[in-house]
Amino acid sequence: MNKVGIALIVFILAGMAYTTYSFVAGNAEGDISTVQRIHADEPIKLDNYIGKKKTILQFVAVPCECCSYSMPFIQQFVEEQDEIEVITIVFYGREKEILDKFENEYNATHEWGVDLDRILANHYDVSVSPTYVFFDEEGNELGTHPYIIATSDELGTRYEEAYNSYHGEAGDS
């Protein structure tokens, strides 16, 4: 084998190794405590919520008709109570479209950010939008709800069911 052939094989093997390392190490070492924001300088630190307050992570895509349908109910839920924090995380979309949706169409007043590299979405096994991941005030992951939410009350009910199921309590819902 000549020098060019050996160099080509080394180059191909190095590329394969780098790709494999990036895939495995990149997902394993991704920051799952921070949500980047495209509408503000400071990221959202999930540690300020998860483990300190009941929290719902709402994963959405832009565009997603089901997500758009649910957003007014999410806003209503946030405005009607202060016991449960809702943080919306966009895991698919283009930044310009995301900004337009959240600032002009949704008029979002709650915390929201982006996870376009899907580190958080992959960590929580989110593959469809919308998906809701529920946490209690101690930071325990209570479960997920990978479907559309049709009312503010339904979001509260879904959270309550997950909470009661995790803590072994009889639900009255």
Residue 77, domain CATH: 3.40.30.10
48 and 26 inside one domain: no
The mean per-residue pLDDT over the stretch 44-71 comes to: 96
Task: Tell me the two tokens of residue 2.
Answer: 């000549």
pLDDT score of 12: 55
Q: Do residues 59 and 146 lie in contact, with contact meaning Cβ atoms separated by under 8 Å?
A: no
Q: Specify the DSSP class assigned to residue 38.
A: S
pLDDT score of 2: 78
CA distance to 15, 26, 74, 78, 156, per residue, from 153 (Å)? 51, 38, 10, 11, 5
Three-class secondary structure of residue 79 per DSSP = helix
- The mean pLDDT value of the chain amounts to 86
pLDDT score of 170: 57
pLDDT score of 1: 67
pLDDT one-digit tens code per residue, 78-129 = 999 999 999 999 999 999 999 999 999 999 999 999 999 999 999 999 999 9
The mean per-residue pLDDT over the stretch 57-75 comes to: 95
Three-class secondary structure of residue 100 per DSSP = helix
10 and 64 inside one domain: no
Q: Among positive and negative, which fits the CA dihedral 50, 125, 92, 150?
A: negative
Residue 172 in any domain: the answer is no
Other CB atoms within 10 A of residue 148 CB? 15
Write out the residue range of the structural domain in which residue 99 sits: 34-167
Asked whether the predicted pLDDT for residue 67 surpasses 70, the reply is: yes
pLDDT score of 173: 45
pLDDT score of 30: 77
81 and 157 inside one domain: yes
Residue 85 in any domain: the answer is yes
Residue with tokens 């946030």: 78
44 and 120 inside one domain: yes
Number of domains in the chain: 2
Asked whether the predicted pLDDT for residue 56 surpasses 90, the reply is: yes
156 and 118 inside one domain: yes
